[in-house]
């Protein structure tokens, strides 16, 4: 089964590129940039990956990215991930990035965009992968700051496949960002948002009603609200589910307790994703294998999930057709 899951052309719709920073690269970049890390070794960093919840992870996540200083660093970060993903059969990656986390450290948007853009072109040329870019706003920071970031990104609007909403969810409902997302809509930029990871089902409703998102990142808590589940099904909204992330951040206790089978039974459109693979114990293939081991899903189920990701990805029609064909051949 692992061989089959590796061969399956996998499309990743939910990845934070800063969350793909492996401890080895963290140390290499720290050395290159003269940044002091509060860890003595790679092993010590890994040992710190014992999270109680989303905020306790975010603390480490924001600290880890302090080693990213120059365009070259963002390039190396993304290429490091694209190579790993490619090796496990990922053919398309949609990456969130967090400009505010870098601006707060004095790293300009131009630096981030230059590095990521270079890596995207390289991934296409050398690995035959396609990629998409999602500029995420930090929901635990003020909405007017997000608006300023959106406006200052004007030179890059055309390069953004979507804007997103991430960081600490509780106490920061989507409604806080209504105006920012309205502005993005006016600019013709598609919208996605994290909702219903730690936050209540109402946050998912707000993301749909007020932010007009085309898909929901995580969304697993929708199951607490049967009317919402019916709506997600009727409107064919895709949830980008991240099983290993949900275990590591204690959204669920064990993978066997994950609500993925119920979500599937409810007729929802689902995809499997890695979220922050360096921090959550595995990439796309590990997430697929974990689902197989926990739920005993058939090949057909995985083909269905991989197909949904292809259908919902930000990519050209030609690329979509090519990947649907690859998927049919892998079956
Ligand atoms: O898993 C996550 N959830 C919310 N925000 C995030 N930012 C990076 N990773 C995450
Ligand atoms: Zn996420």
Binding-site members for substrate are 276
What pLDDT, on the 0 to 100 scale, is given for residue 331? 84
Nearby residues for ligand 2 (ion, Cβ within 5 Å): 275
Closest ligand 1 atom, residue 98 Cα: 7
CB of 49 closer than 8 Å to CB of 279: yes
Of 92, 91, 98, the C-alpha closest to 66 is: 98
Closest ligand 1 atom, residue 249 Cα: 1
> d(Cα 7, Cα 327) in Å, to the nearest integer?
9
Q: Which two tokens stand for residue 28?
A: 């290499």
Helix boundaries (H) for 128-249:
143-152, 178-186, 201-209, 226-234, 243-248
- Which of 99, 100, 164, 166 has most ligand 1 atoms within 8 Å of CB, for mutation? 166
Residue 24 appears among annotated catalytic residues: no
The residue contributing the CA closest to ligand 1 atom 1 is: 275
How do residues 12-43 score in pLDDT, each as one tens digit? 999 999 999 999 999 999 999 999 999 999 99
Of 284, 255, 279, the C-alpha closest to 92 is: 284
C-beta 275 within 6 A of ligand 1 = yes
CB atoms near residue 36 (< 10 Å): 8
What pLDDT, on the 0 to 100 scale, is given for residue 216? 99
> d(Cα 213, Cα 191) in Å, to the nearest integer?
5
CB of 48 closer than 8 Å to CB of 60: yes
Catalytic site residue from 22, 94, 169, 197: 197
- pLDDT < 50 positions in the chain: none
Helix boundaries (H) for the chain:
2-7, 23-33, 42-47, 54-64, 71-87, 99-103, 109-127, 143-152, 178-186, 201-209, 226-234, 243-248, 260-265, 284-295, 299-312, 317-330
What pLDDT, on the 0 to 100 scale, is given for residue 77? 98
Task: Give me the architecture of the 2-330 domain, per CATH.
Answer: Alpha-Beta Barrel (3.20)
C-beta 172 within 6 A of ligand 1 = no
User: 3-state class of 285 per DSSP?
Assistant: helix
> d(Cα 157, Cα 150) in Å, to the nearest integer?
8
C-beta 51 within 6 A of ligand 1 = no
C-beta 198 within 6 A of ligand 1 = no
Strand 162-166 to 10-16 pairing: unpaired
How do residues 207-220 score in pLDDT, each as one tens digit? 999 999 999 999 99
> d(Cα 170, Cα 111) in Å, to the nearest integer?
31
Residue 281 neighbours by CB under 8 Å, 6+ apart: 49, 244, 248
> d(Cα 72, Cα 227) in Å, to the nearest integer?
48
Q: How far is the CA of 218 from the centre of ligand 2 (A)?
A: 7
């Amino acid at each position: 089964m692992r061989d089959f899951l590796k061969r399956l052309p996998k499309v990743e719709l939910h990845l934070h590129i800063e969350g793909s920073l492996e401890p080895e690269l963290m140390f290499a970049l720290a050395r290159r940039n003269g940044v002091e890390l509060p860890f003595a070794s790679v092993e010590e960093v890994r040992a710190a990956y014992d999270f109680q919840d989303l905020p306790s992870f975010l603390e480490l996540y924001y600290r880890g990215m302090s080693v990213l200083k120059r365009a070259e660093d963002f390039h190396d970060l993304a290429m490091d991930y694209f190579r790993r993903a490619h090796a496990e059969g990922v053919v398309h990656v949609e990456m969130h990035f967090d400009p505010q986390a870098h601006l707060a450290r004095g790293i300009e948007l131009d630096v981030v965009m230059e590095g990521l853009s270079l890596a995207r072109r390289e991934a296409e040329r050398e690995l035959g992968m396609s990629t998409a870019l999602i500029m995420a706003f930090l929901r635990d920071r003020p909405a007017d700051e997000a608006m300023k970031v959106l406006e200052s990104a004007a030179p890059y609007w055309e390069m953004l496949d979507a804007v997103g909403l991430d960081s600490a969810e509780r106490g920061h409902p989507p409604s806080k960002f209504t105006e920012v997302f309205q502005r993005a809509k006016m600019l013709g930029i598609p919208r996605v948002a994290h909702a219903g990871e730690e936050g209540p089902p109402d946050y998912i409703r707000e993301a749909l009603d007020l932010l007009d998102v085309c898909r929901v990142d995580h969304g697993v808590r929708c199951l607490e609200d049967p009317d919402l589940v019916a709506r997600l099904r009727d409107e064919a909204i895709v949830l980008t589910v991240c099983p290993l992330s949900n275990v590591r951040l204690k959204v669920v206790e064990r993978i066997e307790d994950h609500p993925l089978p119920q979500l599937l039974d409810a007729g929802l459109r689902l995809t499997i994703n890695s979220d922050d693979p360096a921090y959550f114990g595995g990439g796309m293939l590990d997430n697929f294998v974990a689902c197989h081991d926990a739920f005993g899903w058939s090949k057909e189920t995985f083909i269905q999930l991989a197909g949904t990701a292809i259908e919902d990805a930000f990519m050209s029609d030609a690329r979509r057709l090519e990947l649907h064909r690859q998927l049919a051949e892998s079956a």
